[in-house]
Structure 1
Amino acid sequence: MLLELDDQIIQSTGLSQEQLRVELAVQLYEQGKITVGQAGRMTSMGSIQFQQELGKRQIPSNYDKDDLDADLKTLSKLFQ
């Protein structure tokens, strides 16, 4: 799906298209609506650079016990 915004709307924000994309991704991430990976793809930054952007903004990672359990399970499979 392609999301189109009128150029006047984008201009009224005072942001470039890229900046607006980052702002949208940050807000959606903070609300728990998208993952870091999805935000990285949405912004074309990649997940590591997006995480760095979150750090600059002092936004904590949405990483909980379920995420840790999934990561540990993956690591255990890799090192068997």
Structure 2
Amino acid sequence: MQSLIIEIPQEIVSQIKLPPKRAKQMIMEELVIRLYQQGIITSAQGSRLLSMDKPRFERFLAENEIPIHGEPDEVDIDIKNMEEIINGTINT
């Protein structure tokens, strides 16, 4: 599998007023949001890029006011699973 490396010029990096690790995370989050919004990547791909499980990724999308894509059947299953987790009736 081929990787993609994005280079940001040093003069820009030096002007970012965040620790390098946090800046990298923020840039990756913004990239994932835009790619997901445009339908270029799926939620599974987005969650993998951000090293999040699916529920955490969906919370991340909600926190950023990004609608979750999916077929109605998939959304119904997700809602049922979340209700089971909340009610403590799911086997983990």
Taking structure 2 as the reference length, what is the TM-score of the superposition? 0.59
Higher mean displacement: 5-14 or 51-60: 5-14
Residue 13 (structure 2) pairs with residue 11 (structure 1): yes
User: CA deviation digits over 1:55-76, x for unaligned, max 9?
Assistant: 01111111234xx17x77xxxx
When Rg is computed on C-alpha atoms for both structures, the one with the higher figure is: 2
The alpha carbon displacement at 1:6 in A equals 2.0
* 2:58 aligned counterpart, secondary structure: helix
Q: Check conservation: 1:39, 1:47, Cα contact below 8 A.
A: no
Q: Aligned pairs, how many?
A: 69
- Which 5+ residue runs of structure 1 have no aligned equivalent? 73-80
The alpha carbon displacement at 1:7 in A equals 4.2
After superposition, the Cα gap between the structure-2 partners of 1:38 and 1:28, relative to the gap in structure 1 and judged at 3 Å, is: same
Letter of the 1:34 partner, please give it: I
Q: Which residue, out of 43, 46, 51, partners 1:39?
A: 46
Q: Check conservation: 1:29, 1:39, Cα contact below 8 A.
A: yes
After superposition, the Cα gap between the structure-2 partners of 1:18 and 1:42, relative to the gap in structure 1 and judged at 3 Å, is: same
User: CA deviation digits over 1:22-42, x for unaligned, max 9?
Assistant: 111111110111111110001
After superposition, the Cα gap between the structure-2 partners of 1:23 and 1:12, relative to the gap in structure 1 and judged at 3 Å, is: farther
After superposition, the Cα gap between the structure-2 partners of 1:64 and 1:22, relative to the gap in structure 1 and judged at 3 Å, is: same
> Quick check: which one's helix share is greater?
1
Identity %: 29
